Structure 1
Amino acid sequence: MIRAEEPTAEQVRQEVGALIQAGAKVALSRLDDELARIATVHLDAPGMERVAADPVLAESSVRAIRATLAHWTASVINQPFAPVGPPEDWDNVRIARDLVRRGLDETVLVAYRVVQAFVWQEWIRIAFTLSDDPAVVQGVLEHTSASITDFAERSLQHIGEIMAAEREHLRRGSRPERRETVALLLDGAPVTEERASARLGLRLDRPHTAVVIWVDDTTPPAHALEPVIDLILQVTEARQYVSVLPQTGLAWMWVSGRGPDVRELEGRLRQWPDIHVAIGTTGTGVEGFRSSHRSAVAVQRLLSRSRLRQVASADDARLAALLSRHRDDATAYAREVLGDLADAGPEILGTVRLFVQELGNVKGVAERLFTHRNTVVRRLARADELLPRPLRSNPVEVAVALEIWQWSTDPGGSDAG
């Protein structure tokens, strides 16, 4: 009688790994369908009453849970036996900071454990559909139990670190103290770098960038700028920052590292058309703190004249200053090159500007404007009717003329287009 050979340990391991990957694919494919049930479990957890009662917090919290579950499943699909690090997505960062600001930071820890237990039960059900071999299913459950437990601990530690940093930011940076420290630094007071860093919660010995945010509305609602502050933190992935509100509708901000990418921010800022952002140079130390802010304010002054842009950086301002050094001559040149296009509305002018930036890629322009390709084509056709010479035969001069025109203090024309 011939006896079948027992599988080797490596063969069992390979089979277990393949089944973990298969199960994770099933879990990932079901995630959005199961999200309503997961959200109910999450928001019904003890201590989550105030989160559940706030639609914005509730939605943000559920997005973070979804991102966390998707991160684990995607990771084990890629490498079934590798440790899974904590999620680094913005949804988790934002909800952690928001909960601290609302004094609700401890609630997420309980809710996280509740969701973990619920998801584990769902995973067990999936595991028993993967194989009829009890030993293999046992191997799947043993490994994934250790993986999920380790992942949960890493994730909670990561969230705890974000919350601790936010609590420290709030503790060190009470609004009056922040404003006082910022005012002293900008006025040139002899504040040491170490002391300023401690009071602001921002390492000044490392690169940081100033940002100015303001709203056109003379009576903006309270907290009107907070979503944009959060957006800038998301775009830059800054772990340290400081912000002050010197007056209603105006925020001064410094973020660790380089400032936000103008093109990315420009696209995402369209949902707040009355809000503008000026980005300074990147600096280091106390003097870098001051010079970065000065450059951001200079950009703000230039940007306030423009009909075409919501966002600009110090690099943009340098180019504008160079082009406009002889402003009358530069404006006359721009008017001559643009012809009737100079009086077109911001939609057409902005589309032409992006068309030049994208090197004639209509699809790229449409994606940046979040509009249909045919809309872009129609606007460009209208621009050709208004230009003295067709855009494609004269792109460089049109680009230079638009760069001058968008910073003009008296652009003229109507907004029709």
Structure 2
Amino acid sequence: MDHGWVRKLAATEPVAPLTSLTTRRRAAKVIGEEAVGWGVAAGRRMAAYILGALADWPGERSEEEWESLQRATEASTLDTLTALVTGNGEPMRMSSEPTQNIIFYVTEGIPIEEVVRNVHAGQEFLTQELIGCIADLLPPEQRLEAIQATTRSVIQNWSAFASEITQIYAAESRRWQQGRQSVRMQAVRRILSGVRFPAEDTGRDLGYRLDQTHVALILWLEDLDVETARMFDFTGLARSLAAVTLAEPEPLVIRRGATRVDVWLGGAQPDAAQLIEAKAVLPTPLRIAVGCPAPGVEGFRCSHEQALAARRVLRLGTADRQIVDYPDVELVSLLAADPIRARAFVRAVLGPLRQRDPRMAELRLTLAAHIDNGGSIAQTAQALHTHRNTVSYRLNQAEELLPANRGKTELRCALLLGELFPEGL
């Protein structure tokens, strides 16, 4: 049957794709750009459906896991649409994103049985989505035949896909278990989970001393095509950062998906973040979150948790920063631990003052400086290089917009959140 109706698909709202440009271009040649947009959006919904349907999914549901799954579901959706139009299931085996997702699952220790459940949930979701599209796009007399043909094609292609994934998983699992990185990652998991262990044995597994001061870094790439990210030399960069911070020459580097690595610098200088910002030459897509220096096994774990918290702040925020040091965002990371409640807090405390326009930003800046300078108009004017009358005028305007009965501590915390996050989170 001719599945030309696939080319009529179009997304209702654009979604920024995570799949590689290669995958999208290959699909666009067959189904068109509009249908690619629909496929990306449907793939994103598929990822949410899978994790929602598999309530007992053993993964951590981390950002890396979520993004890896999204790339795979976007690519698999585009490949399915291409296979429908061409009548050839070969595209289901051409995209690299599903394979990369399987590799990620192997490194995270997720069993093959759970991966297959994941695939079946995706097939179920996509079949229902396509049936719904047929009902919208085709006249009644053509729908039954189209639904039957589409269902057969999806079942056939996804069954072959599941079989191939099983083989990939087995091969990657053998390779992973024989590799050095597997031992290192398992040792890191033991430390981060707080399990008691002989530190000397774990240190040997890591090839990295635990009886020293550690500075943890999270390195990741933003807005970079996944195919390019896979070729990025994170290890070489980590070594250069070790040199800049006067740390031990061989840092501990643990890869977490296609776009992120976790790094520990042994014996780095206390001002590691400042040294990196001042001396390191960093590629534009790279972002770095830095934890505080801390000694021993507990320091290894604590500095990493701080780097994770700093990364979360940077990824949620609007500031275009390459490096974030945990002490600079410690308070806001604690305040924003629950984003939903933090958003409600900002809205309740700031009211209209939270709006994202230049005038409101100016009023927020003045109010924050006024609080920081102990309520002194003169010191606020000096800090902002502004006339005292201008400061008074802005404070009066802010006072008119602010909800009543809010203390200075609440205001300052809300202002801090409001400046770092869009719409107060």
Q: Same fold (TM over 0.5)?
A: no
* Greater Rg by CA: 1
Q: TM-score if structure 2 supplies the norm length? A: 0.39
